[in-house]
Structure 1
């Protein structure tokens, strides 16, 4: 049973992971073992990285990537849970979210292989675009009961568009298991609120303005038992001549996403879902993405580059400008 927080203390925990940092702000009972909580949170994030990192040669993701087509690969339950969600969003978004973007990510210089675009690698990766192959959600077979997966076509998986959101969810699980009912978990642009604050107020989270040279707040969203994730073109990109190449790939085009969407913010109960859908809506663009979000009943905020300014477009709680709360 969760501990009561009749006289809670505010804790701020954090640590490195996945090339960035995770953080937890929580209102915990006075007798909470802070070191044990810190260790458990760090272990949860480390497990996700060890299983799903495209950068670690020995990760479970890379074992699957390097396995021959048709060979079953035994996998941990956690990565299978993420793959199930990734393939579901891939199917529902008609490939706007595609976990088999790894070859394109590497070819364009955003992966572990190279730090600049390579024309030959791009040609090779583009030749395997969905128009020329079976969709990822059909070409990757998952057997959750037997904890295994196999590929029916060559593919290089990359879970960077969903794994950080899943890591946030795992940290939320750790907090609940340790009797912490009030917390805000963050990893890059992915956040999840466990309950509200101990005083009954929701957690206030800034939605960042998509500016490359400085960090600025566009608006504030209030979270209670709710997750939020943002995908955009303004933090991770390569400058090639006059062109700025976003790190998010559109596998349908075989190239980095290129549309007027500067960022998309999505609300969901689980951060894994918010993370994946934010990526899907970024790739889909404002027209296709709006129709997709309406069809899926998503709550989302787009910031579009038009002329010299930004235009916002919102659905759900974002449409009225009212603060979002999961209560």
Structure 2
């Protein structure tokens, strides 16, 4: 006999991961003990972090980074999956999303070390090729075919969210909302048959306020923005998003780009790619791959304008009080 919404208990679980917090919201019968579910969720994100962190010197990613060029290195299944997806989206975006900018990320102080002028000069003068031209994957192993320092910060959190959703499903929880630091994935519907709702943030570095509301069913959302992680260089503020052509942070970009896709790893990576390309080039790429994307831009008067692409976000985006509904998602 199926449970009605009044029979179910709401659970909001959370825990530490990747320097921030993971969350999971779901409903379960009263007799269901949430403790084993939380343990499984924590183990899932710890596995992702252990394999893909650039902050842990002993991670599988850092082991690959330390290997000599041309040397085949065994990589675990989940890392191989993320590397493969990263290379695919890198190639599809013509390098706008690139997982081979680890040296630049570290040089500019967005990794575990402070910014260093000598490393910045080296990163900006390096002869660069996109990672999809320098990393080879083959049956659980990888090798670098040229100078390459990998960084998965633009996709690993999204993949961690996907692992949270998969872990809930493995625990018999078919509907829920999971997230890591604002990257979210919704499965199924709430007990009252309504979608899960989340806010798209306004690009305000001083406070967290919603720009609009998304209602999601079986879809993921990720945002890349310039308002959470940055450095001040003289009078200019530079965000953490890197430009492959310069080995340095973007000089100009939208305030944020939000992408809705089937998986959170895809949404995470595509949001970065569209951020790099900006509203014009980003919308062209979004149309090519049938992505739903929302671009927020700062105007000279301090206001924020918006433009959308895809089936979810119309060309003229509603005001902040509007709710946009996504049942399923577009994407390649």
- TM-score band w.r.t. shorter chain: over 0.9
Shift of 1:324: 2.4
Contact 1:260 1:306 in 2 (8 A): no
* Distance of 1:194 and 1:30 partners within structure 2: 21
Matched, 1:69 2:74: no
Question: Greater shift after overlay, 218-227 or 246-255?
Answer: 246-255
Shift of 1:4: 4.9
Give CA-to-partner distance per residue, 1:215-273, whole Å, 9 cap, x none: 11110000111000000000111123311110111112221012240000000010000
Equivalences for residues 82-231 of structure 1 within 5 A:
82-114=82-114, 116=115, 118-128=116-126, 132-143=127-138, 145=139, 147-231=140-224
Shift of 1:214: 0.9
Matched, 1:299 2:292: yes
Contact 2:100 2:130 in 1 (8 A): no
TM-score normalised according to structure 2 size: 0.93
Q: Figure out how many residues of one structure are paired with residues of the other and give that number.
A: 318
* Distance of 2:128 and 2:107 partners within structure 1: 18
Distance change >3 Å, CA 4–CA 282, structure 1 → 2: farther
* Distance of 1:4 and 1:311 partners within structure 2: 46
* Distance of 2:184 and 2:273 partners within structure 1: 18
* Distance of 1:74 and 1:270 partners within structure 2: 26
- For structure 2, the residue ranges without an aligned partner over 5 or more in a row are none
TM-score normalised according to structure 1 size: 0.94
Query: How large is the RMSD of aligned CA atoms in angstroms?
Result: 1.4
Other structure's SS at 1:11 match:
strand
- Show the counterpart of 1:312: 306
Q: Which runs of 4+ in 1 moved over 3 A?
A: 3-6
Give CA-to-partner distance per residue, 1:27-62, whole Å, 9 cap, x none: 122232211000000000000000000000000000
Question: Greater shift after overlay, 5-14 or 99-108?
Answer: 5-14
* Distance of 2:68 and 2:2 partners within structure 1: 52
Contact 2:253 2:276 in 1 (8 A): no
Shift of 1:286: 1.4
* Distance of 1:29 and 1:281 partners within structure 2: 41
Equivalences for residues 235-246 of structure 1 within 5 A:
235-246=228-239
